[in-house]
Amino acid sequence: MIRNVMIGCIALTIGGCAAPTTQPLEQSSMVEMRIDSQFNPAQCEYISEITGSEGHWYSYLFYTNDAMMQGAMNDLKNTAMKIGADTVFMISPQDFVTSFSVIGIAYRCQ
């Protein structure tokens, strides 16, 4: 009985330390995400390769895969916005057991 209470307390403590999924910054809604083959980067200025991720070994149990994917996308868009990009060409998502990461190339196209 005491063991179960201890396990419950530990789970609640770890869950309380889990940060909420990454929220989009207001300006990041202007960043366009591209995954299609019709995207022509020759018409854009290359800025940088960037990544976005969500989830940690201690928090993944408290979030759905969908929430972690959305958090990673928000993180990617926030990073792109901070470096002055308006378009991100996504290379590939990386789905791990405890987290979700997306990799992209940031461009300024407009």
Residue 77: which CATH number? 3.30.110.70
What does DSSP say about strands 100-108 and 45-54: parallel, antiparallel, or unpaired?
A: antiparallel
* Residue at 32: amino acid letter: E
Note the pLDDT of residue 104: 92
**Sheet with 100-108, edge to edge strand ranges:** 32-34, 87-95, 100-108, 45-54
For residues 14 and 4, give the distance between their C-alpha atoms in angstroms, rounded to a whole number: 15
Identify the DSSP state of 39: -
Predicted TM-score of the model (pTM):
0.71
What domain range includes position 87? 2-108
Mean pLDDT of all residues belonging to the chain: 78
Reported confidence tier of residue 70, pLDDT bands at 50, 70, 90: confident
Q: Look at the chain and report how many structural domains it folds into.
A: 1
Predicted confidence (pLDDT) per residue in 19-48, tens digit: 556 766 777 778 888 887 788 889 899 999
Determine contact, residues 103/91, Cβ cutoff 8 Å: yes
Nearest to 104 by CA among 52, 42, 69: 52
